[in-house]
Amino acid sequence: MTLQQLKYVIAVVNYGSISEGAKHLYISQPSLSNAVKELEKELGIEIFNRTPKGISLSSDGSEFLSYARQVVEQANLLEEHYSSHKRTKQLCSVSTQHYAFAVEAFVRMLSQSNADSYEFTLRETRTSEIIDDVSNLRSEVGLIYINDFNEKVLLKLLKENDLIFHPLFNAMPHVFISRNHPLAGETSVTIEMLEPYPFLSFEQGTNNSFYFSEEILSTTPRHKQIHVSDRATLFNLLGGLNGYTISSGVLGADINSDSIIAVPLETDEQMLIGWIENSKVKLSNAAKAYVSTLKLVIKEYGCDMIEDES
């Protein structure tokens, strides 16, 4: 086993496939694939599950990756200690549902970072992909919400993937609408009042189950519904079509939020927003810094934080 082989495995995980890993390592795909297979043969385990759809970490692979990252990190620290002109690059990846406050925390964390070198990734993506990212260690931190409707399904899925859910705050559902929307002057709205307007939601791809929806009341019948994949498009459609979406009510300091307002939705539903981590791996210092910054941002918006007892 060599340090280079450990770096190869980490690269494959970070970039999601052998082909992408090889591209970023500037080696051929067969060379990288053979190096990983030789390591698996030497250790007597399968680090990756290989299917026609691609590769994913096996159970043994998740454990191995935890040790590999520690060894590589220690090697980097050793190299840094004896080389005045080299610095260790900080690595951190976060996957999240489409929350502006999550982006704001990411920006603030980076602005306050004194690292000489870093490579961070922020993915606003689908619910199932967030869980998959953290399960396969492509991301250290994932942000999702649970409520009475999806709780059993999502918590079961998290448990099966050795993931831990840390609650952050209970959000009272609001609708996001443009400042020029006919209902913009209301102190609160009901689902019946929203019926004439298009409902905008984030599409969930092949895992388009109601349980993975980012919006509560996902099973409510609607005559007008539009699925989008990113916040910028959603915000533009809110203004252009007098549409609405349902979210946490925390807009965040987003460039588009000047034209968007949050109006309370009359419902008994709540959204418990929290972050997930892989129980097999300790968070990096950068990931810990992100979670701490996230909590500060949420507090500044007046949300009551939930004490994490896990």
Q: What is the pLDDT of residues 6-35, one digit of tens each?
A: 988 888 888 888 888 888 888 998 898 899
- pLDDT at residue 260, as a whole number: 87
Fold that domain 170-269 belongs to in CATH: D-Maltodextrin-Binding Protein; domain 2 (3.40.190)
Q: What is the pLDDT of residues 191-223, one digit of tens each?
A: 999 999 999 999 887 776 788 998 888 888 889
Q: What is the pLDDT of residues 77-128, one digit of tens each?
A: 677 666 655 555 667 899 999 998 999 999 999 888 877 777 889 999 999 9
Specify the domain boundaries for CATH 3.40.190.10 within the chain. Answer: 170-269
CATH 1.10.10.10 for the 1-88 domain, yes or no: yes
pLDDT > 70: what percent of the chain? 93
On the question of pLDDT at 153 being above 90, the answer is yes
Sequence-ordered list of residues with C-beta below 8 angstroms from that of 169, at least 6 positions apart, any chain: 272, 273, 298, 303, 304, 305, 306
Tokens of 305: 């934080």
- Residue by residue, DSSP assigns 273-290 as EEEEEETTSPPPHHHHHH
Sequence-ordered list of residues with C-beta below 8 angstroms from that of 240, at least 6 positions apart, any chain: none
- pLDDT at residue 255, as a whole number: 44
Distance CA 58, CA 61 (A): 5
Q: How close are the terminal C-alpha atoms of the chain, in Å? A: 36
- pLDDT at residue 141, as a whole number: 96
- pLDDT at residue 252, as a whole number: 65
Who wins on pLDDT, 253 or 129? Answer: 129
On the question of pLDDT at 253 being above 70, the answer is no
Specify the domain boundaries for CATH 1.10.10.10 within the chain. Answer: 1-88
The size of the chain, in residues, is 310
State if pTM tops 0.85: no
Tokens of 99: 């929350």
